[in-house]
Amino acid sequence: MIDAPARTPKHKASTDSLRALDAANFFLADVRDGLGPYLAIYLLTTLHWDAQTIGITMSVMGIATVVAQTPAGALVDRTRRKRIYSVVASLLIAMAALLTITWPHYGVILGGQAIMGVAAAWFTPAIAALTLGLVGPNALDGRIGRNETFNHAGNVFAAVMAGLIGYYLRTEGIFVLLAVMSLLSSIAVWRIHETDIDHELARGKGPEDGQVNSGEKPTGIQAVLVNRSILFFALACVLFHFANAAMLPLLGQRLAKGINAGASSAYMSACIIVAQLVMIPVSHLTGKLAPKGRKRLLLIGFAVLPVRGLLYTLTNDPLLLVAIQILDGVGAGVFGVLSILIVSDLTRGSGLFNTTQGAIATAVGLGSSLSNAFAGGLLQRTSYNVAFLTLAALALVALAVLWFFVPETSPQAQKSTV
């Protein structure tokens, strides 16, 4: 860890702000992830693009996020206008979603994805910072679990609505849904009271942290770059998301073969709903168990990914393929909570919580964006089974990096082993 202080200040936010944070996480669920696999279905069934072009298009948002993520995290650490910037980011995503269906041309869609990527880069560090600034590090474990629970509940709501809209109306209506949820998330963020946010706590630095580092030790961003635990955790994240990100879009394209756009959207919604329903209790339970040990829980989350990739190759039954998404719920539910807590552990006292969050999110975005382009090209030349097995093999490499090179970071677990 980076020279953690001996004690941590307590902080208590108002009930109104905490409820607004709940609502923000609920509505941001669909917003910060963009259109995801629904975009793949829209491009395949409505615009009739080929697999490689779809993969490249879906990679644009991830690449834009990669470029913007670390600067976004650094800005979160430095600014006190976290709410205003969050509102602006939400409105940009709403605008991009509507442009995609208003002018469905290649350049417009690519530009819209780039706008979404830049705007989405803000949300991961910003919500983590607002949470830390509202509740402080001592209550962060349970609060992050609660954030993710509301986030996944929002994803279930969005997936149900998207499935109904895509099946009974038009696929383009899903883009309108994203715009509406963007507007509602803006309102929720603005309802968080500015006076409840401790901006020093929000960047991982308490009032007594100024004297923590001695002149002989690296400080600032240098302290992050020389921390092997952070670097290996970032590598594990890159590999995990490289293996994970393309699996659901690939599954969506596979399910879309031979059926209409409405049925494709319904199947995709079923996949998302199954996973998100599992994520709700998994996120809550992970937040409860996290103080006793982060690593063993995260190993479980990483281990289910190669199993999921293998199972996709063993059946063509749509119902069984949807059921396999239970494993996606376990992996994503665990990772969503623990990735934030591990970064908080590794940067406590440095004042660089959100900068490091942004850098880790850059690693995640890098893995995700390259995954879609890689899988699209591989599918163009081989088959769905080869693509799924290749991604499963990469997931095993991610698991090995986590197992051998990333330490346990929970302060409570570390004390129990002393």
- How far is the CA of 205 from the CAs of 220, 340, 344, in angstroms? 12, 16, 11
For position 45, what pLDDT does the model report?
A: 77
For position 271, what pLDDT does the model report?
A: 84
- Taking the C-alpha atoms of residue 131 and residue 134, their distance in angstroms, rounded to an integer, is 5
Vertex 267 angle, CA 93 and 147, to 5°: 50
User: Would you say residue 162 lies in a domain?
Assistant: yes
User: Would you say residue 206 lies in a domain?
Assistant: no
User: Would you say residue 207 lies in a domain?
Assistant: no
For position 86, what pLDDT does the model report?
A: 94
For position 11, what pLDDT does the model report?
A: 56
User: Are 339 and 55 in contact, with CB atoms under 8 Å apart?
Assistant: no
In eight-state DSSP terms, residue 14 is: -
User: Are 31 and 181 in contact, with CB atoms under 8 Å apart?
Assistant: yes
Exposure of 267 in the CB half-sphere (CA atoms within 13 A)? 25
Lookup: tokens for 166: 């895509």
Q: How many CB atoms lie within 10 A of CB 229?
A: 17
User: Would you say residue 12 lies in a domain?
Assistant: no
The length of the chain, given as a count of residues: 418
User: Would you say residue 11 lies in a domain?
Assistant: no
* Domain total in the chain: 1
- Taking the C-alpha atoms of residue 282 and residue 244, their distance in angstroms, rounded to an integer, is 18
Task: Say which CATH number the domain at 270 has.
Answer: 1.20.1250.20
pLDDT mean by block of 10 residues, the chain; 418 residues: 48 86 89 69 81 80 82 90 94 91 88 90 90 89 91 84 82 89 94 93 67 50 74 93 90 74 71 87 93 94 96 90 92 92 86 83 76 87 93 96 93 66
For position 165, what pLDDT does the model report?
A: 86
pTM score of the predicted model: 0.76
Lookup: tokens for 70: 């670390």
User: Would you say residue 191 lies in a domain?
Assistant: yes
For position 208, what pLDDT does the model report?
A: 46
User: Would you say residue 8 lies in a domain?
Assistant: no
Residue type, 256: A
For position 84, what pLDDT does the model report?
A: 95
For position 210, what pLDDT does the model report?
A: 47
The closest alpha carbon to 343, from 325, 328, 361, belongs to 361
- Taking the C-alpha atoms of residue 210 and residue 318, their distance in angstroms, rounded to an integer, is 57
For position 126, what pLDDT does the model report?
A: 92
For position 261, what pLDDT does the model report?
A: 58
The closest alpha carbon to 329, from 117, 149, 120, belongs to 149
Q: Domain span at residue 263? A: 19-201+221-413
Largest Cα span, the chain: 66
Exposure of 390 in the CB half-sphere (CA atoms within 13 A)? 18
For position 10, what pLDDT does the model report?
A: 53
Lookup: tokens for 257: 């073969």
User: Are 30 and 269 in contact, with CB atoms under 8 Å apart?
Assistant: no
User: Would you say residue 388 lies in a domain?
Assistant: yes
Lookup: tokens for 46: 């409505």
